[in-house]
């Protein structure tokens, strides 16, 4: 072979080699993963003219509706609606006009779903029961399911929540804190980017419970007395609270707080006593509790007269009534001697709560108290009995120069009201009328009479009611008036 021939042959070989190098095969696709129903579009570029054919998993594709020749160097494969059977390896083969052969391959993945179908997205469970939260996932190929709460995956190890083999989330002995939003995440196995999430709400219900701080409340009635009855209620959903009262609701005295858990009664009266029933109700159940309110009334005492003025020998009658709850015991007390009057017979007696004194004597005068005694308190009302004073006793009389002095060892019985003065009486002869002089109780008991004269004298006390009985009479002879002389007169 001559030199020119060799040069031409080498040039042809070089040209064929260059054509082989430039004719690169490639398949262009927007993605590798297709959902059932998606359109699949594959573009094969040969890089040089030639005969392009397609294969799937080694089998020729002859369907002209699927394969279309664009030009001598490119072809496209179009599947309008992908099915699961369309997944596989696609090969674009080219027999180049230059005699060179080449191909390009691409692996397509087709999936269906995942889908949650008729999975419920809202569940309610009773506290303490076992809850099942299904996740009805379908998809092809295999679908993996995970459960999340608060962005944390729920582990099957430990705890009271676990995923069952059918992807249902089981919550054992549901707690209140289990309420919230759960996420069921369904992922096509081997394709982390292909997943769907479904939010499921879980509500925990609990029947109402009612707890009382005090089952029995005791208060004393009065305009300044306010009492609060507290009903501690629990339950889910939040229970509605109502009250049943033994009296008609009065908005001016009965007040509730914002959730009606506390009832306040203002200016408590006796009629407020009784059972107060607190009832808590929600859609699960109803519960109630009873508070017994005992209302006590402080005793009050009423007497028919607070003061009685009677003469010695007359009668006294004073009635006494008491009120209060519980009903008080009634007692009459003689405040002069501190003794309780319990006798129902005799001159001084108590009959049907009436103090009765027959034939009053001076020592009956003074204060008497009608007393009411009960567990809710004590009360009393005094009654003053006034009568004439008693006669002066232990009286001594002494004569002075033209005078008589009275001396008392003890003060006469006052008759219940202070002795204001004394009446001093005297006479010379039994047939004469008594003469008298009234002396203030604070002054000396002295009367000026004639000297060297015999007298009969006596004394009585006087108070606001009148004069008391006189003392026994005393006979006394007055002395003469002494005269004093000077020394000069005596010498004469």
Residues 325 and 352 in one domain: yes
Residues 179 and 236 in one domain: no
Domain assignment of residue 270, yes or no: yes
Domain assignment of residue 86, yes or no: yes
**Burial (Cβ within 10 Å: 0-12, 13-18, ≥19) of residue 49:** middle
Domain assignment of residue 20, yes or no: yes
Domain assignment of residue 299, yes or no: no
Q: Which residue has the tokens 């609060």?
A: 228
Residues 192 and 239 in one domain: no
Quote the pLDDT of residue 388. 97
Quote the pLDDT of residue 1. 52
Q: What is the pLDDT of residues 455-482, one digit of tens each?
A: 999 999 999 999 999 999 999 999 987 6
Residues 8 and 108 in one domain: yes
Last residue of a domain, one of 285, 313, 339: 285
Residues 100 and 167 in one domain: no
Residues 197 and 243 in one domain: no
Quote the pLDDT of residue 6. 52
Quote the pLDDT of residue 157. 79
Quote the pLDDT of residue 366. 96
Quote the pLDDT of residue 113. 87
Quote the pLDDT of residue 2. 47
DSSP string, 62-89: --TTTEEEEETTEEEEEESS--GGG-EE
Residues 472 and 418 in one domain: yes
Domain assignment of residue 487, yes or no: no
For the chain, the domain total comes to 5
Residues 127 and 228 in one domain: no
Beta strand pairing status for 195-212 and 122-126? parallel
Q: Over the Cα atoms of the chain, what is R_g?
A: 62
User: What is the domain extent for residue 54?
Assistant: 3-112
pTM, two decimals, is 0.65
22: helix, strand or coil: helix
Residues 106 and 125 in one domain: no
Looking up residue 405, the CATH number of its domain turns out to be 2.60.40.10
Quote the pLDDT of residue 483. 59
CA 276 to chain centroid: 14
Residue-by-residue pLDDT tens, the chain, 492 positions = 544 345 334 433 443 444 444 568 999 999 999 999 999 999 999 989 999 999 999 999 988 889 999 999 999 999 999 999 999 999 999 999 988 999 999 999 999 989 999 999 999 999 999 999 999 999 999 999 999 999 999 988 788 999 999 999 999 999 999 999 999 999 999 999 999 999 999 999 999 999 999 999 999 999 999 999 999 999 999 999 999 999 999 999 999 999 999 999 999 999 999 999 999 999 999 999 999 999 999 999 999 999 999 999 999 999 999 999 999 999 999 999 999 998 999 999 999 999 999 999 999 999 999 999 999 999 999 999 999 999 999 999 999 999 999 999 999 999 999 999 999 999 999 999 999 999 999 999 999 999 999 999 999 999 999 999 999 999 999 998 765 444 433 333
CA distance linking residue 492 with residue 490, whole number of Å = 5
Residues 106 and 131 in one domain: no
345: helix, strand or coil: coil
Domain assignment of residue 323, yes or no: yes
φ/ψ of residue 180, rounded to 5: 150, -165
CA distance linking residue 268 with residue 77, whole number of Å = 93
Residues 89 and 162 in one domain: no
Last residue of a domain, one of 333, 359, 386: 386
Last residue of a domain, one of 350, 369, 386: 386
Residues 198 and 136 in one domain: yes
Domain assignment of residue 297, yes or no: no
Domain assignment of residue 296, yes or no: no
CA distance linking residue 477 with residue 8, whole number of Å = 199
């Amino acid at each position: 072979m001559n030199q020119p021939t060799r040069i031409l042959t080498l040039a042809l070989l070089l040209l064929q080699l260059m054509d082989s190098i430039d004719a690169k095969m490639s398949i262009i696709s927007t993605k590798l993963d297709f959902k059932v129903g998606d359109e699949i579009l594959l573009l094969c570029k040969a890089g040089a003219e030639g005969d392009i054919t397609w294969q799937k998993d080694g089998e020729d594709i002859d369907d002209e509706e699927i394969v279309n020749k664009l030009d001598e160097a490119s072809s496209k494969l179009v599947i309008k609606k992908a099915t699961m059977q369309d997944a596989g390896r696609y090969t674009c083969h080219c027999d180049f006009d230059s005699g060179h052969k080449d191909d390009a391959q691409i692996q397509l993945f087709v999936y269906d779903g995942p889908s949650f179908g008729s999975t419920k997205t809202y569940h309610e469970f009773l506290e303490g029961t076992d809850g099942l939260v299904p996740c009805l996932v379908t998809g092809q190929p295999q679908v993996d399911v995970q459960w999340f709460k608060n962005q944390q995956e729920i582990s099957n190890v430990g705890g009271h929540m676990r995923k069952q083999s059918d992807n249902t989330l089981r919550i054992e002995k549901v707690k209140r804190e289990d309420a919230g939003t759960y996420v069921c995440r369904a992922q096509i196995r081997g394709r982390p980017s292909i997943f769907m999430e479904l939010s499921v709400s879980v509500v925990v219900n609990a029947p109402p419970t009612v707890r009382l701080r005090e089952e029995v409340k005791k208060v004393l009635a009065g305009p300044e007395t306010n009492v609060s009855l507290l009903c501690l209620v629990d339950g889910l959903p939040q229970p509605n609270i109502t009250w049943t009262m033994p009296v008609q609701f009065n908005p001016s005295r009965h007040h509730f707080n914002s959730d009606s858990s506390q009832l306040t009664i203002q200016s408590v009266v006796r009629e407020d006593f009784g059972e107060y029933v607190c009832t808590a109700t929600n859609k699960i159940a109803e519960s109630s509790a009873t508070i017994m309110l005992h209302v006590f009334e402080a005793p009050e005492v009423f007497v028919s007269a607070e003061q009685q003025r009677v003469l010695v020998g007359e009668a006294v009658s004073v009635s006494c009534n008491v009120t209060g709850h519980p009903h008080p015991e009634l007692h009459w007390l003689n405040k002069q001697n501190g003794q309780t009057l319990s006798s129902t017979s005799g001159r001084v007696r108590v009959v049907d709560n009436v103090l009765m004194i027959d034939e009053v004597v001076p020592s009956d005068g003074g204060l008497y108290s009608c007393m009411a005694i009960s567990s809710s308190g004590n009360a009393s009302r005094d009654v003053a009995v006034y009568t004439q004073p008693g006669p002066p006793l232990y009286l001594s009389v002494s004569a002075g120069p033209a005078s008589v002095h009275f001396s008392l060892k003890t003060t006469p019985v006052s008759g219940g009201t202070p002795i204001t003065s004394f009446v001093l009486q005297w006479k010379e002869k039994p047939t004469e009328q008594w003469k008298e002089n009234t002396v203030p109780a604070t002054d000396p008991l002295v009367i000026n009479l004639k000297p060297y004269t015999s007298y009969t004298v006596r004394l009585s006390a006087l108070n606001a009611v009148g004069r008391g009985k006189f003392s026994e009479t005393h006979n006394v002879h007055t002395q003469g008036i002494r005269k004093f002389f000077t020394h000069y007169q005596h010498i004469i």
